[in-house]
Amino acid sequence: MADDSYRTIQQTAEGYYTEKRSRFISYAVPVRTVEEVKEQLDKYRKQYYDARHVCWAYMLGADRLTFRANDDGEPSSTAGKPILGQINSNELTDILIVVIRYFGGIELGTSGLIVAYRTAAAEAIAATTIEERTVDEDITVAFEYPYLNGIMRIVKEDNPQIISQKFEMDCEMTLRIRKGEADKLKNRLLKVETAYLK
């Protein structure tokens, strides 16, 4: 995988796993911020208020450096860590996985719990669609109106997404392009007379 791309999930998906009458309901949820993670966790805690445990793990950011795991009362490292392990083994980010456990009356033991939470997390991931996204950079270029054609030719050839544009005597465009291609685009834009980056 390139430095300027990452893997995430397209939509929320649900998984199930049962072991010795304990039921594990799992959700893989696309999230972008810690605030979104908190909102989603509140939602699932309210929805499954009668469950014994609501365990979770998340990973955020293209660099995959922001993550946390929580056992929610299960023995240490038997729930959050195996859930996080599934996020890592699929190289995913911008994802929250919540696993809700309804206790079935029979203890599963440490290894049984690890397998159950890992499997439940894997089921939720298997039910969603994984996609590769690019890490993009926004470039704002300013130039005088007579040079619009030159700029537009570059935009047409390099095909960045146009975020905003204003065409007056002084023109300005904000373009979004994959990070790995940003320098090439900047260099080409700067070759157009009067153009400068903001």
pLDDT at residue 107 greater than cutoff 70 = yes
pLDDT at residue 1 greater than cutoff 80 = no
pTM, full prediction:
0.81
How far apart are alpha carbons 29 and 155 in whole angstroms? 35
Could you tell me the CA-to-CA distances from 101 to 68, 87, 143, 150 in Å, in that order?
19, 19, 59, 61
Q: CB neighbours (10 Å) of residue 160?
A: 21
**CB < 8 Å & 24+ apart, contacts of 153-160:** 154/185, 154/188, 154/189, 154/192, 158/184, 158/185, 158/188, 160/185
Do residues 26 and 14 make contact, with C-beta atoms less than 8 angstroms apart? Answer: yes
Sheet holding 170-178, edge to edge: 161-166, 170-178, 136-144, 196-197
The whole-number pLDDT of residue 2 equals: 58
pLDDT in tens, 84-99: 999 999 999 999 999 9
pLDDT in tens, 133-181: 999 999 999 999 999 999 999 999 999 999 999 988 899 999 999 999 9
